[in-house]
Amino acid sequence: MRDIKIFIGIIIALALVVGIVSVSRNQTSEKNHDTPHSSTANLEKLPLKTPSTRTAFAPTTKDGIKEFELTLDEIRWEYAKGPSTALGTGKFVHAWAYNGQVPGPEIRVTEGDKVRVVVKNNLPVGTSLHWHGVHVENKADGVPGLTQYPIKPGETFTYEFTAKNAGTHFYHTHGSSHVDAVTQLDMGLYGAFIIESKNPQKYDREYVYMLDEWEINPDGSNGALDHAEEGEGEHVHKMPNYNIFTINGRVFPDTETLMVKEGERVLIRLINAGTQEIHPMHTHGHSFKVVAIDGNPVPQIAQQMRDNLPVLPGERYDIEIVADNPGVWLFHCHHVHHASAGMVIPFFYEGYKPCCLE
């Protein structure tokens, strides 16, 4: 009889523990659902930003340090031209953006420069800023829980470091923790960070292209926020269904034209800022030389000639094209689904026009 009472007591205790855990998980789930949802009513109140509203960085120099200011804001970003609607002109997506643009403004410095970036968070969630590929001092790495607390809504945080390693890099959010980093990246929080060598190679033209993928709902809301709200537990994030693929925040035919002149040597910096997709980038009518990988120069003896180059998430490639075949061409992702959903750039020579592009 005594054994039966003990057994019953254990069962009751286990039931109480399960109940407490269940309540705790429900409370955690409610906290995770604090991520704002992009309803159509909310979108109407957000400013509509387009490539015409982009502003280039003009750093100030204070005490020998190049200083840049970044703000994080909620916007509607026009990723393609289109007819006027009740919400504005063009096709847009709910985005979180640095200085009101996607990608964020390019930061360009010279190796050895001392850099200060002042970040003001106007978003409804905590965030951080990571310098991808840049050999910063540890305290400036921008990883919540390791080197800093998240930058809370309304707060300002300052990063300082020396730009040591020349090359093609980028900056991007690391979220308020590892749990929501993917959500914040999929909302558009990234930008190019170029550290020029003190003895750079000379090119006739240079282009920087940031590749990204989006899940955009018919009303312009961003699927990244929908996934952040689903499921229970801190590590639940539904896999997105990306349906729009952009280059510098735009889809073809509204992407920036890669314009060249016969005989020119052109440098293209490719940055995959996306969180998941691989983009095999392909040139029509030309091969190119891979001259740097992840910001590191490739020795001449190891440089490859390619016309198709897979770019993984987080990777950067510098490629050199010699303009020796005049005409109107394309530069696009050869994952054809990605190309059909926007990841295409016109590759035109001066003086040449397409026959019938509408």
Integer Cα distance of 160 and 114 in angstroms: 7
Predicted confidence at residue 6, as pLDDT, reads 46
Q: Is the pLDDT of residue 333 over 60?
A: yes
Q: What is the DSSP string of 294-347?
A: TTEEPPGGGPPEESEEEE-TT-EEEEEEE--S-SEEEEEESSHHHHHTT-EEEE
Integer Cα distance of 299 and 303 in angstroms: 6
Predicted confidence at residue 40, as pLDDT, reads 57
Integer Cα distance of 241 and 216 in angstroms: 9
Counting residues of the chain whose pLDDT is more than 70, the rounded percentage is 83
Please enumerate in sequence order all residues whose Cβ is within 8 A of that of 15, keeping only pairs 6 or more positions apart, or say none. Answer: none
Residue 143 binned pLDDT confidence (cut-offs 50, 70, 90): very high
Integer Cα distance of 123 and 109 in angstroms: 27
Tokens found for residue 162:
């020396």
Number of residues assigned to the chain: 358
Q: What's the one-letter identity of residue 331?
A: F
* Per-residue pLDDT tens over the stretch 166-205: 999 999 999 999 999 999 999 999 999 999 999 999 999 9
Please enumerate in sequence order all residues whose Cβ is within 8 A of that of 83, keeping only pairs 6 or more positions apart, or say none. Answer: 89
Residue 311 binned pLDDT confidence (cut-offs 50, 70, 90): very high
151 closest CA partner among 131, 173, 133, 171: 173
Q: Is the pLDDT of residue 225 over 50?
A: yes
**3-state DSSP call for residue 287?**
coil
Tokens found for residue 235:
């590590």
Q: What are the CA-CA distances from residue 3 to residues 8, 13, 15, 17, 96 (Å)?
A: 9, 15, 19, 21, 61
Residue 44 binned pLDDT confidence (cut-offs 50, 70, 90): confident
What are the percentages of helix, strand and coil residues in the chain, rounded to 5?
A: 15, 40, 40
130 closest CA partner among 112, 114, 111, 146: 146
pTM: 0.87
Q: What topology does CATH give the domain 207-349?
A: Immunoglobulin-like (2.60.40)
Q: Where are the alpha helices (DSSP H) in 220-295?
A: 223-228
Sign of the C-alpha dihedral, residues 232, 237, 240, 245?
positive
Tokens found for residue 211:
């590749």
Integer Cα distance of 59 and 69 in angstroms: 8
Q: What's the one-letter identity of residue 188?
A: G
Q: Where in the chain is the domain with CATH 2.60.40.420?
A: 40-201, 207-349
Distance of CA 134 to the CA centre of its chain: 16
* Per-residue pLDDT tens over the stretch 241-268: 999 999 999 999 999 999 999 999 999 9
Predicted confidence at residue 133, as pLDDT, reads 97
Rg of the chain in Å (alpha carbons): 24
CATH number of this structure's domain 40-201: 2.60.40.420
Residue pair 75/25 in contact (Cβ under 8 Å)? The answer is no
Predicted confidence at residue 20, as pLDDT, reads 36
